[in-house]
Each structure stands twice: as C-alpha cells, then as structure tokens.
Amino acid sequence: MTVKKRHRSHPGVFHCCTFCSSGGQKTARCACGGTMPGGYLGCGHGHKGHPGRPHWSCCGKFTEKSECTWAGGQNAARSLLRTVAL
C-alpha cells in the first residue's frame, strides 16, 4: 500500500504586506511577525519584522507555489483568511 502525502494548500494570501493586501485594515494579521505602529496587527513595508519581499500571510513562506507549513486549527485559518482577503 502506498500512502501519498496530501498537498497542504495555503489558507492565506500571497502578498507584499498586510497593509496593502487588506486595503489598510488594522485587524489584518500576518505570520511573518512584522508589526506597525498605530494599532495595526499586521506587517507593512519598511516596518519592524517585515521580510522585505512577498510572502504568505498564513505561514510566512516566500515561495508562492509551495505547501503551507502553518499548523493552526480550522477556526484560526478561517479567521486569518477573513481578515486579510478582500
């Protein structure tokens, strides 16, 4: 019996930063760990922790065509998607 590994799709958004991908929503979050002043919960260009290149909001990976490494639960994924996808 051969067991195939299931492809793990990304529940998030491949973006330059949460500020741009969410249209400036303060509640948008990102797994890259970037922060911005003014009550923003996600990353922004030139701010602390921003990786400096496009990345996935769910796991922080830099490769667009890749498997997700985020290990969050189903409810958390739905919440993350809702806050960053327009």
| Banded model confidence at residue 73, pLDDT cuts 50, 70, 90 | low
Q: How far is CA 76 from CA 5, 11, 38, 48, 79, in A?
A: 23, 10, 24, 24, 5
pTM: 0.74
Give the whole-angstrom CA distance, residue 76 versus residue 3. Answer: 28
pLDDT at res. 74: 47
Average pLDDT, the chain: 84
Residue type (1 letter), 79: S
Q: Tell me the pLDDT tens digit for each residue of 25-37.
A: 999 999 999 999 9
Domain boundaries, the chain: 16-86
Segment (H or E) for 28: none
